[in-house]
């Protein structure tokens, strides 16, 4: 426990990628001995290849699969990432290991590849941080939004990595058409997210430049700014081609913001009836949904109310309890 003591437990649980980086750091700086030198009760990999059973003295192994897109949709990824993910799958022993998937959609895709693992593959949804609730201090909210020259309710928001799977050029094109047709006025599109791969960051910067400031690339933002951006948005639009779970819609709902999202993969089971769902290739459908959410006050109120209730169903405490149950099952077997 001493190695982990400088980290706040809730921060590690909220951000699996931080846990992954922590484990990489520990492996490099602390765990210079082989795994066999340690007494291991259970080994859980967040998204890296599992060690050989002999290296951990036969301890139960658990692997989290967030999605399988690097192998099922490799055109969205660098070849190196697809190859890395293949190694993760090759490390699985179907008769010994236990798999956690973020969603039923991901579980269904996984079982197409490992059909004999029905009893060893379960769903543990991700959670919504307590941070993502309606703002209390609107003066602070106003100050934070001023960083980008935007005001509460007067912008459209999208939150995702700038990568091909997230379908951002499609969203930008739909937004551009609404602006050119003067159906949207003085409502910039704010894109929050770090740079991805396959030329998507450059593509998005080029599109933003063409739109003369109507698209704001906010890049990475900290949690407090993200909370402010969710809370002040007129609508969150999240329309990827495919998604293994999808936290941004739930986080936006927790902040009281209506959501438009894709009608495919894991997103319908995540948002339930609390969001408008559209085909991520249907431009007319997305444009209509945007205009409807912006203009229909009764619909907005209904989506906000449903969103609050939906977000409450997902917590990191629940995720931890369900994960612990997987551990118990793995130890039994």
Query: pLDDT band at 180, cuts 50/70/90?
Result: very high
Number of domains making up the chain: 2
Q: Is the pLDDT of residue 109 over 70?
A: yes
pLDDT digits (tens, 9 = 90+) for 295-325: 999 999 999 999 999 999 999 999 999 999 9
Query: pLDDT band at 223, cuts 50/70/90?
Result: very high
pLDDT score for 30: 47
In a domain, residue 21? The reply is: no
Query: pLDDT band at 39, cuts 50/70/90?
Result: confident
Structure tokens at 333: 């077997």
Share above pLDDT 70 across residues of the chain, in percent, rounded to a whole number: 89
DSSP codes of every residue in 55-78: GGTT--EEEEES--HHHHSGGGS-
Question: Do 202 and 69 belong together in one domain?
Answer: no
Instruction: Give the separation between CA 90 and CA 161, rounded to whole angstroms.
Output: 27
Question: Do 328 and 307 belong together in one domain?
Answer: no
In a domain, residue 217? The reply is: yes
Mean pLDDT value across residues 115-134? 96
Share above pLDDT 90 across residues of the chain, in percent, rounded to a whole number: 81
pLDDT score for 40: 82
Query: pLDDT band at 58, cuts 50/70/90?
Result: confident
Q: Is the pLDDT of residue 95 over 60?
A: yes
Q: Is the pLDDT of residue 4 over 50?
A: no
Higher pLDDT pick, 212 / 25: 212
pTM, two decimals, is: 0.88
Q: How many CB atoms lie within 10 A of CB 105?
A: 22
pLDDT digits (tens, 9 = 90+) for 184-218: 999 999 999 999 999 999 999 999 999 988 999 99
- Report the SS3 class of residue 243: coil
Question: Do 114 and 82 belong together in one domain?
Answer: yes
Give Cβ neighbours of residue 260 (< 8 Å, ≥ 6 apart): 235, 236, 237, 238, 239, 275, 276, 277, 278, 286, 289, 290, 293
Q: What is the mean pLDDT of the chain?
A: 90
In a domain, residue 27? The reply is: no
Higher pLDDT pick, 332 / 13: 332
Instruction: Give the residue numbers spanning the domain of 161.
Output: 138-312
Question: Do 167 and 180 belong together in one domain?
Answer: yes
CATH number at residue 258: 3.40.50.2000
Question: Do 328 and 194 belong together in one domain?
Answer: no
pLDDT digits (tens, 9 = 90+) for 245-295: 999 999 999 999 999 999 999 999 999 999 999 999 999 999 999 999 999
pLDDT score for 331: 92
Using an 8 Å Cβ cutoff, are 26 and 1 in contact? no
């Amino acid at each position: 426990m001493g190695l982990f003591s400088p980290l706040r437990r809730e921060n590690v649980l909220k951000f699996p990628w931080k846990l992954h980086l922590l484990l990489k750091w520990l492996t490099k700086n602390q765990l210079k001995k082989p795994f066999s030198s340690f007494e291991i009760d259970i080994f859980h990999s967040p998204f890296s290849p599992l060690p050989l059973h002999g290296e951990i003295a036969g301890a139960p192994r658990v692997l989290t699969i967030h999605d399988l897109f690097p192998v099922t949709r490799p055109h969205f990824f660098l070849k190196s990432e697809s190859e890395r993910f293949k190694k993760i799958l090759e490390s699985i022993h179907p008769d010994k290991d236990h798999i956690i998937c973020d969603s039923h959609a991901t579980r269904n895709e996984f079982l197409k590849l490992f059909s004999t693992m029905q009893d060893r593959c379960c769903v543990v949804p991700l959670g919504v941080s307590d941070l993502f609730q309606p703002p209390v201090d609107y003066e602070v909210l106003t100050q934070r939004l001023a960083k980008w020259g935007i005001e509460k309710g007067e912008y459209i928001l999208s939150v995702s990595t700038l990568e091909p799977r997230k379908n951002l050029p499609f969203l930008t094109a739909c937004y551009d058409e609404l602006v050119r047709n003067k159906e949207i006025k003085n409502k910039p599109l704010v894109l929050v997210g770090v740079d991805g791969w396959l030329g998507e960051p450059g593509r998005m910067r080029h599109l933003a430049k063409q739109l003369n400031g109507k698209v704001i690339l906010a890049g990475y933002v900290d949690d407090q700014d993200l909370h402010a951006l969710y809370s002040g948005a007129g609508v969150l639009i999240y329309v990827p081609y495919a998604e293994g779970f999808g936290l941004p819609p739930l986080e936006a709902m927790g902040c009281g913001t209506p959501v438009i999202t894709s009608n495919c993969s894991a997103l319908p089971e995540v948002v339930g009836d609390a969001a408008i769902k559209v085909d991520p290739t249907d431009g007319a459908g997305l444009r209509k949904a945007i205009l409807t959410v912006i203009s229909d006050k009764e619909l907005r109120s209904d989506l906000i109310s449903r969103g609050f209730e939906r977000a409450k169903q997902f917590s990191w405490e629940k995720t931890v309890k369900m994960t612990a149950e997987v551990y118990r099952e793995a130890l039994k077997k």
